[in-house]
Structure 1
Amino acid sequence: MLNDCLRRQDGVITLRQAQAVGLSKQAVNRRVRLGLWRQCSRGVYFVDDRPFDDAARVRAAVWGFGEHAAASGLAAAWWHGLTRFAPEVVDVTVPRGSSGRKRSGARLRRRDLATADVVEVRWLRVTALPLTAIEAAVHARRDRGVMDRALQRDATLAQLWTAQLRNKGRYGSPAARTLLQGAGDGTHSAAERLLVKLLRDARLTGWRANHRVGRYRVDVAFPAAKVAIEVDGWAFHVDPTEFQIDRERQNDIALLGWQVLRFTWLDLTRFPDRVLATIRTAISA
């Protein structure tokens, strides 16, 4: 039972868990004295027969603040698989009345989370996907790619808004609200305007906005090169019907002899040079 517990918990175990599988406090202390276990914080231990990886680090940081603590922010985003790299500082949220001091490697936030805003993922309490997405997007320098990936998973825009309204007044709430407002019906238009600005600033010519190709109008077209550029709004990710319509639309335009390039808001905001390089290659082919 002990080995199974350690295996699924990345080598991290609490005193209460150790006692539940039959170890006494004295037995735990003996393992620490022998160098077999490392004490991470009061009542939290790591079995030192394996690498202390990011999963162990995040888990130990959260458990160090008690059984009601939850990973939040970028730590929760990484745990959910919304970001590639674990943050150096682990955000931990605890109830307002909880005891506990700040520790190196952890950022403590005190607030009461609703039951709907906490889930258990791989035996660790973390903020639920909707709340995680809006909080992490703000911490990640307002990276809407985090929200984008959440919407490609099980979250919906309505769920993100519900989590936002349920947690008004928290750190980063105004910035998250701005991101969510931009994720509404106007997102596609805002992305189109950003694309047009990129083209103008790069002094690219020969393009037309809202250009008709067959029975469709494409966001931006280079008629001479027969290159059509489409900007994917958030509905592209969250609405299966919209996704299917976009696929049929793209195929119809391609059958008319046009090359179709697709870009997302993340492409336009985070990788504009790559977007422009792709467009230049397409229109010069």
Structure 2
Amino acid sequence: MEPDDAPGGAPSGLHLPDPWPGFDHACRERHGVADPELALAHGVAVQRFHDRTAREGWSRARPGIRLHPHVNDSVQQRLLVVTVSTGGLAAASRDTAAWLHGLQRYPPDRPSVAVVHSCRATSYRDVSVHRARWLTADDIVEVQRVPTLSIRAMLLSSVRAPADRQRARLIDVLHLGLVTPAEILALLDATGPVPGKDTLRRLCEELGPLLIESIFQDDVARTLAGLGYPAENSTHRIDTVDGMGLTCDVALLPWRIALEPEGDAFHRSRHQRRLDRRRIAAYAGTDWVPVPIDWRDWLEDRDHVLDAIDAAIAAQRRRGIGVDHLPPRRS
């Protein structure tokens, strides 16, 4: 063992385990990002950290920040370089936080980090930095070893996004039970002036009382309502003879028609398709008529979907259901 490679601070005559392997393992788990604080936490002296990382060819990302030579570059690594080097509160934000939380499939082209206003932080590679006066330690959680805004703080950081994108994201987090409208509103109440936060407040107040399972369901209900169909923008409970009951996504109550939007992401596996068939079969014991709506048909052949809905309405009216309610007329 070379002199500068000996465990630092060990009394003469004692043979303590070398702390470097533990530090090396921790660095690999942290996407290859190391700094003197991580070294000290694992018993490696700061001077030894600098000497050995230089000798082994660790790249210098920022002053004091070294990258492990055997860990590949990643979005998480770049985010950590920024958050570790700020010296203050910093966390992945906006769509980047949504990606880390599993709310979107791919990271954004330009990942972002939010920092407190007093921090002296700069961008690194493709990672941008924006300041958030409202940011506190309570707004930050660790996801995939990366400091990340909590769900409600992530929503607040995204208030400059178009309202329809905010609506879709809010529907997802509410349906998954990741946050409640009351928790979001409490953060908004505790936050000073933030441009755009009134839009998030309005969306919370609108969507909070509703039970919406997906943005596809929301789009179907809102579009039909705009065309004159009495579509409920919330799930609806239907009683069945076995007492189990059904919950349909979008109900046309006057004619007892249950619209079932079927997105590709939720109806792909054999198990999911089997559950769908069981749901459709359960309607046989009721006077409701299910109308499945395929996501691709809705996007590419909407007239076909609307024709199917109109045909179901006509059939129900022939059975005497909803005869007092005229269906909307489409051009």
Band of TM-score, shorter chain: 0.5 to 0.7
The separation in 2 between residues aligned to 1:18 and 1:67, in whole angstroms, is 19
Q: Return the alpha-carbon distance in structure 1 between the equivalents of residues 26 and 50 of structure 2.
A: 18
DSSP 3-state at the match of 1:209: coil
Q: Which moved more, 1:165-174 or 1:30-39?
A: 30-39
Corresponding residue for residue 42 of structure 2:
21
- Give the deviation of 1:187 after TM superposition: 8.4
2 CA distance for matches of 1:167 and 1:209?
38
- Checking the alignment, whether the CA contact within 8 Å between 1:74 and 1:139 is kept in structure 2 is no
How far the C-alpha of 1:159 sits from its partner, in A, is 1.1
Amino acid at match of 2:198: P
Q: Conserved in 1, the CA contact under 8 Å of 2:28 and 2:68?
A: no
Task: Give the SS at the match of 2:114.
Answer: strand
**Which residue of the other structure, out of 50, 74, 83, is the alignment partner of 2:104?**
83
Matched residue, 1:163: 187
Aligned partners of 1:253 and 1:260 also within 8 Å: no
Residue 258 (structure 1) aligns with: 289
2:104 and 2:146 mapped to 1: Cα distance?
17
- Aligned partners of 2:79 and 2:146 also within 8 Å: no
Structure-1 residue corresponding to 2:178: 154
C-alpha contact 2:82 2:122 (8 A) present in aligned 1 = no
Are the aligned partners of 1:137 and 1:147 in contact in 2 as well (CA < 8 Å)?
no
Q: Which has the higher contact order (CA 8 A, sep 6+)?
A: 1
User: Alignment partner for residue 126 of structure 1, among 148, 162, 165?
Assistant: 148
TM-score by length of 1: 0.68
Partner of 1:131, secondary structure, is: helix
Paired with 1:78 and 1:51, the residues of 2 have a C-alpha distance of 19
Corresponding residue for residue 196 of structure 1: 225
Specify the code of the residue in structure 2 equivalent to 1:219: A
Whole-angstrom CA distance in 2 between matches of 1:272 and 1:215: 28
Query: Does the 8 Å contact 1:129/1:155 carry over to 2?
Result: yes
- Rounded to whole Å, the distance in 1 between the matches of 2:177 and 2:144 is 17
Unpaired runs of 5+ residues, structure 1, are 201-207, 232-248
Q: CA deviation at 1:54?
A: 1.9
Assess, with a 3 A threshold, how the Cα gap between structure 1 residues 99 and 215 changes in structure 2: closer, same or farther: closer
Would the alpha carbon gap of residues 76 and 140 (structure 1) be closer, same or farther in structure 2, given more than 3 Å must change? Answer: farther
Identical columns (%): 21
Q: Take 2:162 and 2:33, find their aligned partners in 1: how far apart are those partners? A: 28
Instruction: Say how many residue pairs are matched.
Output: 253
Q: How does 1:188-227 map to 2 (within 5 A)?
A: 192-197=221-226, 209=230, 219-220=251-252
8 Å contact 2:114–2:130 — kept in the other structure? yes
* Change beyond 3 A, Cα 1:277–1:156: farther
Q: Is the 8 A contact 1:119 1:128 kept in 2?
A: yes
C-alpha distance in 2 between matches for 1:9 and 1:3: 10
Whether contact under 8 Å (1:15, 1:45) holds in the other structure is no
Q: Residues 93 and 111 of structure 1 are in contact (CA less than 8 Å); yes or no, is this contact kept in structure 2?
A: no
Residue 203 (structure 1) aligns with: none
Q: Hey, what does 2:12 align to over in structure 1?
A: none
Q: Residue 230 of structure 2 aligns to a residue in which SS? A: strand
TM (normalized to structure 2)?
Answer: 0.60
Q: 1:83 to 1:68 in 2, by over 3 A?
A: same
Distance 1:85 1:44 in 2: 27
* Distance change (3 Å), C-alpha of 1:183 and 1:21: same
Report the 3-state secondary structure (helix = DSSP H, G, I; strand = E; otherwise coil) of the residue aligned with 2:193: coil
Indicate which of 80, 83, 87 corresponds to 1:66.
87
CA RMSD of aligned residues (A): 4.3
- 1:173 maps to 2:197: yes
Q: Secondary structure at the match of 1:7?
A: helix
Instruction: State how far apart, in whole Å, the 2-side matches of 1:156 and 1:274 are.
Output: 34
Segments of 5+ residues of structure 2 without an aligned counterpart are: 1-21, 213-217, 233-237, 241-247, 262-278, 313-331
In the alignment, does 2:157 pair up with 1:135?
A: yes
2:300 and 2:49 map into 1 onto residues whose CA distance is 55
In structure 2, relative to structure 1, the CA distance for the partners of 1:58 and 1:103 (3 Å cut) is closer
Amino acid at match of 2:91: A
In structure 2, the partner of 1:204 is none
